[in-house]
Structure 1
Amino acid sequence: MASASVMLVQPVGEMWQKIREELNENVNTRDQDLAAIKDWLKKQPHLPDEWEDRCLLTFLRGCNFSLEKCKRKLDMYFTMRAACPEFFTNRDITRPELMDLMSRAQGPTMPGLTPAGRRVTICRGLDKNLDTHQLNDAFKIAMMIGDVRLMEEIEGVAGDVYILDASIVAPSHLGKISPSALKKFFICVQEAYPVKLKEVHVVNSTPLIDTLFNIIKPFLKEKMRNRIHFHSDYKALHEYVPKELLPEEYGGTSCALNEINLAWVKKLEEYKDWFLKQESLVANESLRPGKPTNYDELFGIDGSFRQLSID
């Protein structure tokens, strides 16, 4: 079984060097950049005074060490923590509803890295009777994994590849999907997390997925829409993702996805106390200089991203 202690293999050697260059990371000035962000954070009355250095470094890397972009991302991250308690509170993976969901749907990040230094995450449902009312909990777990990665991507990666398995999507799901939940989730992914999304591969795609994509499309930036690929079988997927990084369920030679998923359950259990401490680290809009964030404007289901200007 995949050990939770080796969930994320870190880049070394030539790959490490290439990733440093891609992230615009200068090991000689990195500590100065980190100190500048920490100093900025202390001066923001509406944001937490302190946060783990590891998390801040992950944000800097995700922003190519642009201090201004990093500040905007961090502000949005803590803003979303306050604005979306359905995603960022009660994050105890041992709660029965979350354990049940982890047994009926999976979204683990694989341990290894592609030749380009990218991390691969695979999401699939196992139960055709999954109810869309569990969508918020699914998004919660996805961001729990994302937060663990803020801590444990010690060397940084050159981006992310997501594989979405559409095999259990049914017509009954489409009418029950909450546009509000979708929009909040995609704002988090695109604006609040230091994610460099390089590719999205939808496997077991059917005409029904085209309909679902049309529902989701308004919430996606054009850059992200252009990075989505649809595949009817796994053979086409292998042209993008090496077999050694894919589990056996997808024609690969890595650990079974079930094993990786169980290892992530254990890892999330280890972070139980950490998640609880994080709940108080949110933006306080009553202390924000200038105009407080208007959640209604931010989350209005009108396709508008007026407030979101981060590249």
Structure 2
Amino acid sequence: MLMLFEMEQNFSVTTMEIAKEELREDEATRKNALNQMRLWLKKNNKIIHSRSDDSFLLRFLRAKKFSLPLAQEALERYLLLRQTFGRKLFYDIDIMCPRLEKLLTLGYIFVVPKRDKNGRRIIITRPGVFNPSKWTNADMCRMHGVTYETLMEDQENQIRGFVHYTDAAGMCLQQLTLFTPREAVRIVKNGERTLPMRHKEIYGINVPSSLKFALDFGLSLISEKIRSRVKIFSSIEESHTYVDKSLLPKEYGGEMEMSTMIDLWKQEMLEKREQILKNEKMSVRDDMFSESAKQGRVSALTNSHQHMVGSFRQLTVD
């Protein structure tokens, strides 16, 4: 296929080597898997409409290392998630929306322009600038949604994966009340299992000691594989051992002003805007899915989670 040939020509030799070594991907495997995915889509009565272009299907195949059954399950889960929780997470995720544009300008979540030494994009999140009295949990979800959807359109990102860099300075107890504990469980679980993203490194800085219980709760929800990639630092300088500070905003020891990085990221988002909005046409027959599937297939809360529910309910917010 000409498209596949052109795709390989646009990738560096190193990128193709990573795809082969980490994802078991080569031209023959990719071509066969794409054909099988398209045949499966045509025969799948649960799916009313889905994208079937290379870039879209490959994000699931790569996330599941070209296991067809796992990639097909992930695609079904993703489409169902879009439809079930769509209004909060996947619909109206237009960066031209004034509320989302304002959150971007504040630097709540953005992506630095340069890739790190492993070719990965660095996603910076600053929850402390999110004012719960001005913004809703839907705003937060939609902002993450438009960011991740934009990133996943890039096939280099699909192969290389992502680095998360979160500055928790300024976070307060009130922000924890944006979601119920059960909602938090669903978001974290689906973020790891359903969104076809390769989370390679996760860093946190400036975590207030008063919110350590919330951090422990969040870490208890993710798999051991992802948990092993999380590192928490007491200072920005300490994080420079793992993250090249020249890639970070000037405010974190880098060279480029944060506002400039945000402007550059906005341009990237605008370039992908039309495609992101077209994604809203995808749909499934939700009556063909079980209730547990529509609820994110989250199992009952464990005793430790129940304890956390109590902690959330006891919060007093000024």
How far has the Cα of 1:210 moved from its partner? 0.9
Deviation at 1:245, TM superposition (A): 2.5
Whether 1:89 and 2:88 are equivalent positions in the alignment is no
Residue equivalent to 1:5:
none
Cα RMSD, aligned residues only: 2.7
Q: 2:268 aligns to what?
A: 267
| Alpha-carbon offset, residue 203 of structure 1 | 0.8
Q: Distance in 2 between matches of 1:89 and 1:242?
A: 35
Q: Distance in 2 between matches of 1:281 and 1:43?
A: 16
CA–CA separation in structure 2 for the residues paired with 1:226 and 1:83: 31
Taking structure 1 as reference, are residues 108 and 133 closer, same or farther at Cα in structure 2, changes over 3 Å only? closer
CA shift at 1:94, angstroms?
Answer: 1.7
Q: Secondary structure at the match of 2:210?
A: helix
Determine the structure 2 residue equivalent to 1:226: 228
- The residue that corresponds to 2:297 in the other structure is 298
Q: CA deviation at 1:294?
A: 4.6
Residue 68 to residue 135, structure 1, CA distance change in 2 (3 Å)? same
Structure 1: 5+ residue stretches without partners = 1-9, 305-311
Shift, 1:107, TM fit: 1.5
User: Could you say which residue in structure 1 is the equivalent of 2:311?
Assistant: none
Moved more, 139-148 or 220-229: 220-229
Secondary structure, in 3 states, of the residue corresponding to 2:231? strand
C-alpha deviation, 1:190, in angstroms: 0.9
Q: Is the 8 A contact 2:165 2:202 kept in 1?
A: yes
Q: CA deviation at 1:218?
A: 4.3
Give the drift of 1:16: 4.2
Deviation at 1:143, TM superposition (A): 1.9
Comparing both chains, which one has the higher relative contact order based on Cα–Cα distances under 8 Å and sequence gaps of 6 or more? 1
Cα distance per residue 1:123-182 (max 9 Å; x no partner): 114637444852332222212122122222247433221011001102333344433442
TM-score, normalised to structure 1's length?
Answer: 0.82
Instruction: For residue 73 of structure 1, report the CA deviation from its aligned partner.
Output: 1.0
Which one has a larger percent helix, Structure 1 or Structure 2? 2
TM-score of the pair, normalised by structure 2: 0.80
- Structure 1 residue 258 corresponds to structure 2 residue 268: no
Measure, in 2, the Cα distance between the counterparts of 1:49 and 1:157.
22
Matched, 1:32 2:32: yes
Matched residues in 1 for 2:111 and 2:78: separation? 21
Deviates more, 1:182-191 or 1:122-131: 122-131
Q: 1: distance between equivalents of 2:130 and 2:45?
A: 47
Number of aligned positions between the proteins: 292
Question: Aligned equivalents of 2:248 and 2:34: distance in 1?
Answer: 35
C-alpha distance in 2 between matches for 1:277 and 1:83: 18
Unaligned runs of 5+ in 2: 1-9, 304-318
Secondary structure of 2:44 counterpart: coil
Q: Percent identity?
A: 23
CA distance in 2, matches of 1:199, 1:249: 21
> After superposition, where does 1:37-52 map in structure 2 within 5 Å?
37-47=37-47, 48=49, 50-52=51-53
Query: Kindly tell me: are residues 256 and 17 of structure 1, through their superposed partners in 2, closer, same or farther at Cα, counting changes over 3 Å?
Result: farther
Specify which of 132, 148, 151 is matched with residue 149 of structure 1: 151
Query: Secondary structure of 1:167's match?
Result: coil
What CA distance in whole angstroms lies between the structure 2 residues aligned with 1:298 and 1:71? Answer: 16
Residue identity matched to 2:62: R
Q: How does 1:114-263 map to 2 (within 5 A)?
A: 114-125=116-127, 127=129, 129-131=131-133, 134-154=136-156, 156-253=158-255, 255-263=256-264
Contact residue 38 and residue 50 of structure 1 kept, 8 A: no
Three-state SS of the structure 2 residue aligned to 1:111 is: coil
